């Protein structure tokens, strides 16, 4: 059934395709950028160099300082460097960490971002920034941090290790899953979410079979674009709150945590989200419901399925459940401490996801 909705599209310019990196200068022309600072994570300097070469004289520096969750001192240094070299924009090369650093500079100096994503995090499609100070991550929305142009070149994802590709793919799927039952979901978002999940769920097995499969790489990057657009347009619920708490408080790795938690959070919400469940069943066919299907898919693709293997102690379960239930936010099904603790215990131990996790807590 189509419910009432308000749809407001975010600005979006996307150039997609193998070898599209060579058209990066045209993207800079669109915005009128002449002096850009290239940002990447340590270890990604080779890819950043490819980008710098594609830009020729318009690249005024490469900064390989991006790390997860954007520590404020790293953001401060990068902002100072952007001002020092007289940059009029930034090109981010990499995943959510590189894009996050570009967003921090955009927030401070208003410099436009052109993103060249090489993971499936989806940050390039959102106006959401994050900054971590003294171990606390602050996030916010600001139109200035939304990249003005995004160049998706699947060739640049060929080097993404297979295990990281799988967990990053699940991270993307999580955005689409929660968009399907978001309070601000719209029919267009739901179409993008279904297609994003379909594209990723069909591409990831191809990547596991052969990490250099160009069609599978293109399919996964295409899916991550759609899932990222869903993240940028809607309000996330329990699953993202859980992962935020696990990452922020226990420093668990971002994409892997999303992979382990998603089937459990989805199973819990399924009884309250019949339309989303129907939509997901269409694109994740197979035994059991979509939550079960995702849990099996993670196992089939060799992804982690326990929070224990990511470094969480059983004794942390109550602490995280307290943190998640002490804040108020929307979720399609009311949450209780007992249910969240049960969900976390099942995810910690790698049990099959349950619609009634509190019964075991």
| Residue placing its CB nearer to ligand NAD in the complex, 94 or 290 | 94
Q: Could you tell me which residues come within 8 angstroms of residue 150 by beta carbon, excluding any fewer than 6 positions away?
A: 12, 13, 14, 15, 114, 115, 116, 117, 124, 125, 225
* Residue 14: φ, ψ to 5°: -130, 135
- Minimum separation from the CB atom of position 112 to ligand NAD (A): 17
Q: Which helix (H) or strand (E) holds 152?
A: strand 149-152
Return the number of other C-beta atoms located less than 10 Å from residue 57's C-beta. 7
**SS3 state at 133:** strand
| Residue placing its CB nearer to ligand NAD in the complex, 175 or 345 | 175
- Minimum separation from the CB atom of position 42 to ligand NAD (A): 7
| Residue placing its CB nearer to ligand NAD in the complex, 79 or 354 | 79
Long-range contacts of 325-330 (CB under 8 A, 24+ apart): 327/241, 329/237, 329/241, 330/183, 330/235, 330/237
Sign of CA dihedral 104, 178, 232, 55: positive
Q: What single DSSP character describes residue 229?
A: H
- Minimum separation from the CB atom of position 196 to ligand NAD (A): 14
Q: Which residue has the CB atom at the shortest distance from ligand NAD? A: 96
- Minimum separation from the CB atom of position 286 to ligand NAD (A): 26
Q: What single DSSP character describes residue 274?
A: H
* Residue 141: φ, ψ to 5°: -115, 135
**SS3 state at 265:** helix
| Residue placing its CB nearer to ligand NAD in the complex, 41 or 269 | 41
Q: Which residues bind ligand NAD (CB under 6 A)?
A: 41, 43-44, 68-69, 94-98, 100, 118-119, 121-123, 126, 128, 130, 156-157, 159-160, 164, 168, 231, 254-255
| Residue placing its CB nearer to ligand NAD in the complex, 43 or 56 | 43
- Minimum separation from the CB atom of position 208 to ligand NAD (A): 16
| Residue placing its CB nearer to ligand NAD in the complex, 163 or 306 | 163
Contact predicate 238/265, CB 8 Å? yes
β 128-133/149-152 pair status:
unpaired
Q: Could you tell me which residues come within 8 angstroms of residue 90 by beta carbon, excluding any fewer than 6 positions away?
A: 36, 37, 38, 39, 82, 102, 105, 106, 111, 112, 113, 114
| Residue placing its CB nearer to ligand NAD in the complex, 239 or 345 | 239
- Minimum separation from the CB atom of position 159 to ligand NAD (A): 4
Q: What is d(CA 343, CA 72) in angstroms, rounded to the nearest whole number?
A: 33
| Residue placing its CB nearer to ligand NAD in the complex, 230 or 341 | 230
- Minimum separation from the CB atom of position 4 to ligand NAD (A): 27
- Minimum separation from the CB atom of position 269 to ligand NAD (A): 20
- Minimum separation from the CB atom of position 108 to ligand NAD (A): 16
Look up residue 229 and give its two tokens. Answer: 């657009």
| Residue placing its CB nearer to ligand NAD in the complex, 225 or 345 | 225
């Amino acid at each position: 059934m189509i419910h009432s909705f308000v749809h407001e599209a975010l600005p979006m310019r996307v150039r997609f395709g193998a070898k599209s990196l060579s058209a990066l200068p045209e993207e800079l022309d669109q915005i009128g950028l002449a002096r850009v600072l290239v940002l990447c994570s340590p270890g990604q300097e080779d890819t950043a160099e490819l980008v710098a070469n594609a830009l020729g004289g318009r690249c005024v520096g490469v900064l390989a300082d991006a790390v997860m969750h954007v520590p404020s001192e790293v953001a401060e240094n990068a902002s100072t460097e952007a001002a020092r070299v007289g940059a009029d924009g930034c090109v981010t090369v990499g995943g959510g960490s590189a894009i996050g650093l570009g967003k921090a500079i955009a927030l401070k100096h208003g410099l436009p971002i052109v993103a060249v994503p090489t993971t499936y995090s989806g940050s390039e499609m959102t106006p959401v920034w994050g900054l971590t100070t003294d171990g606390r991550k602050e996030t916010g929305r600001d139109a200035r941090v939304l990249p003005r142009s995004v160049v998706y070149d699947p060739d640049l994802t060929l080097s993404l290790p297979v295990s990281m590709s799988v967990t990053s793919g699940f991270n993307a799927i999580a955005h689409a899953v929660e968009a399907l039952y978001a309070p601000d979901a719209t029919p267009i978002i739901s179409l993008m979410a279904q297609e994003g999940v379909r594209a990723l769920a069909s591409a990831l097995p191809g990547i596991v079979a052969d990490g250099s499969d160009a069609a599978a790489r293109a399919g996964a990057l295409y899916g991550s674009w759609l899932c990222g657009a869903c993240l940028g347009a809607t309000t996330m619920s329990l699953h993202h709150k859980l992962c935020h708490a696990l990452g922020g408080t226990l420093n668990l790795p971002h994409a892997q945590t999303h992979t382990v938690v998603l089937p459990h959070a989805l199973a819990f919400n399924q009884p309250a989200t019949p339309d989303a469940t129907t939509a997901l069943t269409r694109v994740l066919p197979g035994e059991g419901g979509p939550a079960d299907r995702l849990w099996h898919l993670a196992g089939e693709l060799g992804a982690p399925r326990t929070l224990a293997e990511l470094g969480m102690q059983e004794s942390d379960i109550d602490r995280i459940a307290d943190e998640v239930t002490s804040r108020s936010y929307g979720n399609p099904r009311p949450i209780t401490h007992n249910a969240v603790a049960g969900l976390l215990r099942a995810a910690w131990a790698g049990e099959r996801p349950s619609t009634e996790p509190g019964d075991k807590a």
